[in-house]
Structure 1
Amino acid sequence: MDKLLQGVKIRINDKLFVKDPESSELGKNIIRMSILMINEIGWENFTFKKLGKQIGSNESSIYRYFENKHKLLLYLTSWYWGWMEYHLVLATHSIGNPKVKLLKAIDIITREVIEDTAYLHINEVLLNKIVINEYSKSYLTKEVDAENKEGYFIIYKRMVGRLRDMIKDVNPEYTYPSSLASTILESTLHQHFLKDHFTSITDCNATVTPTQYLTHLVVNTLNQNVNE
């Protein structure tokens, strides 16, 4: 698997960067250290000035890759969803049974992330934590409509579309496939966040996983609709 992934480039909207960080060691180092720092100190406390000190480079060199830290966050979260999409497609493309395929997709999206070592400058485990904690900050902005038109969220929306189509294959009569698909993606982030920070308002814990909860939710929702 690792050797296969090493030959795969996650395609990111080129409007999110000034220079492709994958094109140089400095760019990769910017990505690597950004993930480490954002996970450690949080998005609000992260700055390009602090990043420059950590990588031993001028702050201005970072601006040659990213216009601002908002674009960097969009890049990181887009990369994550692209990486997740690749795993989703790889794991489900040969499954013929629609229900089995959907359940496999839910498992891929909701399970604990394990670092695959295929991309040495990206720690997927830490990036997953950043997406759980910070992803909403990439779109809860005044500029979201304009950025959506620019295609900044296309990979995330494509993931919703893939899930929507799987849901429709399981139950073509279900009325809300897009809403359920987006609920799966948003809920996996939210339940992981609640499990780590607000344990009293979730049933997910050390023994009950978001995967179990969302699998139960989807199966019962679709079965109920069939029986109505």
Structure 2
Amino acid sequence: MEYLLRDLKVVINDKIYLKDPESSTLGKKIVEYSILLINDIGFEGFTFKKLGEQIGSNESSIYRYFENKHKLLLYLASWYWGWLEYQLVFMTNSISNPTEKLKKTIEIITQTVKEDSSFSHINEVLLHKIVINEYSKSYLTKEVDKENKEGYFLIYKRLVTRIKDMIINVNPGYKYPSSLSSTVMEGALHQYFLKDHFSSLTDCDKDSSPTAYFVDLVFNSINNNN
């Protein structure tokens, strides 16, 4: 995996940014330190001024890359989903059995994230935490329909579609493949959030992972379909 992904560039909708942060040292630094700072103080407290202080650069230089912090959050989330999608494709490509392929996919989508040395400027572990805690803020906005039409959520939606197609391959007669697929994607984030903050509201803990829960949920749902 490490060698396959070493030269990978996650392709993100160029309408999200003004200048591709991957195109310069400063851009990569903006991404790197925004992850560290958002994880540390939260998205509400995060500002470009604070980020500029962290990286030793003028606030105005950050605005050359991103119009606002909402677009930066969209960029970070899109990068995470793209990175996850590449892992899914590489790790399931050789699996021919539909059931095993779906099970592996659920494991990849819901697993605890480990840092990927292929991207030295991005801490995937912290980015995963940000997606868990902050991702909903990227689409719970008045502009969501417009941004959806602009393709801002394309990678996320593509992942949901991949899982939906795998569910259909296991059971073509299952009535709710899209709903179940989106439940896995969104529910995995929610279960990790509950596990960290409202532990009495979930059965996922150190002995029972979100992965085990979603494997059970998905296969019980599609196997018991009437």
Is TM-score (shorter-chain normalized) higher than 0.5?
yes
TM-fit CA distance, 1:94: 1.2
TM-score by length of 2: 0.99
CA drift at 1:101:
0.2
Q: Offset of 1:165 from its aligned partner?
A: 0.2
Distance in 1 between residues matched to 2:45 and 2:186, nearest whole Å: 25
Gaps of 5+ in 2: none
Which residue of the partner structure matches residue 189 of structure 1? 189
* Pairwise CA RMSD: 0.5
Q: How does 1:27-46 map to 2 (within 5 A)?
A: 27-46=27-46
Moved over 3 A (4+): none
Classify the secondary structure of the residue corresponding to 1:57.
coil
1:125 equivalent to 2:106? Answer: no
Give, as a single letter, the amino acid of the residue that structure 2 aligns with 1:220: N
Superposed CA offset, 1:85-137 (max 9, x none): 00001111111100000000000000100001100000000000000000000
Q: How far apart are the structure 2 equivalents of 1:117 and 1:41? A: 25
What does residue 179 of structure 2 align with? 179
SS in 1 for 2:224: helix
Aligned counterpart, 2:161: 161
| Identity %, equivalent residues | 68
5+ residue gaps in structure 1?
none
Q: Does 1:7 align with 2:7?
A: yes
**Cα distance in 2 between the residues matched to 1:195 and 1:82:** 25
Tell me how far 1:3 sits from its aligned partner: 2.6
TM-score normalised per structure 1: 0.98
1:95, 1:6 → 2: CA distance? 22
Aligned to 2:212: 212
Counterpart Cα distance in 2 of 1:153 and 1:119: 22
Query: Number of residues paired by the alignment?
Result: 226
**1:159-204 per-position Cα deviation (integer Å, ceiling 9, x unaligned):** 0000000000000000010000000000100000000000011000
Take 1:64 and 1:116, find their aligned partners in 2: how far apart are those partners? Answer: 28
Shift in Å at residue 4 of structure 1? Answer: 2.0
- 1:6 positional shift: 1.6
Letter in 1 for 2:162: R
Residue identity matched to 1:103:
K
State how 1:86-97 maps to structure 2 within 5 Å.
86-97=86-97
Q: Aligned partners of 2:50, 2:135: CA distance in 1, in Å?
A: 21
Moved more, 73-82 or 87-96: 87-96
Residue equivalent to 1:66: 66
SS in 2 for 1:14: coil
Which whole-Å CA distance do the structure 2 matches of 1:3 and 1:170 have between them? 31
Q: Which residue of structure 1 aligns with residue 199 of structure 2? A: 199
Counterpart residue type for residue 27 of structure 1: G
